[in-house]
Amino acid sequence: MKSSITFREAVNLALIKEMERDPSVFVFGLDVDDHKRIFGSTHGLVEKFGAERCFGTPLSEDAMTGVALGAAISGLRPIHVHIRADFILLAMNQIGNMMSNLRYMSGGKLRIPLVIRAVIGRGWGQSAQHSKSLHSVFAHFPGLKVVLPTTPQDGYGLLRSSIQDDNPIIFLEHRWLYDIAGEVDDERVVPLGQAAVLRAGDAVSLVCSSWMNLEALKAAEVLARKGVEVEVVDVRTVSPLDEQTIIGSVKKTRNCVVADYDWVFCGFGAELAALIGQRCFGHLDRPIERLGFLPVPCPTTRPLENLFYPSAATLIRAVEKLLGLEEADLSRESFYSYEQRFKGPF
């Protein structure tokens, strides 16, 4: 069945479908069963499936991650939820030392079907400890899969694939995506490891992760009015990475801007740039441009926060610079602003 729903509803629907399909699926973590329900994404689960299959935990991220791993190697399919990806840093021992390598060290005898869902990204003055993405950190470890959905269909279809997968998966949801609506076909499960071309173009490939896809689509719309057609490639999964789609796009457009929703230095954007540089060397007309967070901790105050994050405007400027175009007047453009959707305080 197809319907137009928000990303929040899409994630929620995927959880319900998988919990209905498989009694070994359960959802746990701080706040999953409180009245706010992780931005509404775990809405109705405790009522529908009971407190055995949807429950809050002590504030013990490290141990709860180990509990997820222990349940997974016992044949259950845990979904451990963090309302902020930053909190996962408390659990990196279980992720980097255990779940990423237990299968390898067991000679292939153990299966580790678990999903860690976490909310990433910009909110409302979230500052330095409620704003990280961390996908580069996770993807650095062999033995993990890392998923960054953008569209509601992908929020639904990639989450269902992740829950059905027999490997540990880090599933990162940008906070601003929850309110974004789109068509979702509930029979469409999206396989991991496939990038998607969200908009076709011939001038420049914008290779993007998570929220940067929405900024890129806005940039593409503005640039198209100036006669520049850019192609937007959503990587969708960081690991495994769909190299073919990315390389195919860059070979076609001969120009590339990598826009990652994370710090640039030693980040996923560097990995993409290295891949494209190596595999598209003779096909590139200009050097690869990279955009991402500026190399500072995320500041709270709005004027500095606006500088910290890459946006449609910075993407437009990057494309103009790359192609040697004049800077367009953006003063009449309407860009996404959370202020229009949300007023503080909490």
Partner 1 sequence: MEREEAIALYRKLVLIRQAEEKIREEYLKDEMKTPVHLGIGAEGISVGVCHCLPANSRTFGTYRNHALYLTVTGDPDGFFAELYGRLSGPGKGKAGSMHLSAPEFGLMATSAVVGTTIPVAVGAAFAEAYRKTSGIVVVFFGDGAIEEGVFWESLNFACLKQLRILFVCEDNSLAIHAHAAERRGFRSIPEAVAAFDCYQAGGDGSDVLGVIRRTRQALQMMSEKPKPAFLHFTYLRFLEHVGPREDFDVGYRCRPSREESEGLDPVLRFEKELLRSGCTLQDLEVVRVEVRERVRRAVEAAQKAPFAPPAELYRDVLA
Question: Which residues of the chain form contacts with partner 1 (CB under 8 A)?
Answer: 26, 52, 57-58, 60, 62-76, 78, 93-94, 97-98, 102-113, 142-143, 145, 165-167
Which residues lie closer than 8 Å to 330 by C-beta, 6 or more apart? Answer: 222, 313, 316
User: In terms of residues, how long is the chain?
Assistant: 346
Work out how close the CB of 128 gets to partner 1 at its nearest, in angstroms, rounded to a whole number.
23
As beta bridge partners, residue 301 has none
Work out how close the CB of 82 gets to partner 1 at its nearest, in angstroms, rounded to a whole number.
15
How far is the C-alpha of 216 from the C-alpha of 75, rounded, in Å? Answer: 41
Smaller CB separation from partner 1, 40 or 66: 66
3-state secondary structure 73-131: CCCCEEEEEECCHHHHHHHHHHHHHHHCCHHHHCCCCCCCCEEEEEEECCCCCCCCCCC
Smaller CB separation from partner 1, 75 or 227: 75
Work out how close the CB of 246 gets to partner 1 at its nearest, in angstroms, rounded to a whole number.
21
- The CA–CA distances, whole Å, from 43 to 33, 229, 289, 296 equal 8, 40, 41, 35
Catalytic residue annotation: 61, 130
Smaller CB separation from partner 1, 168 or 269: 168
Work out how close the CB of 74 gets to partner 1 at its nearest, in angstroms, rounded to a whole number.
3
For the chain, what is the largest distance between any 2 Cα atoms, rounded to a whole number of angstroms? Answer: 60
How far is the C-alpha of 128 from the C-alpha of 132, rounded, in Å? Answer: 7
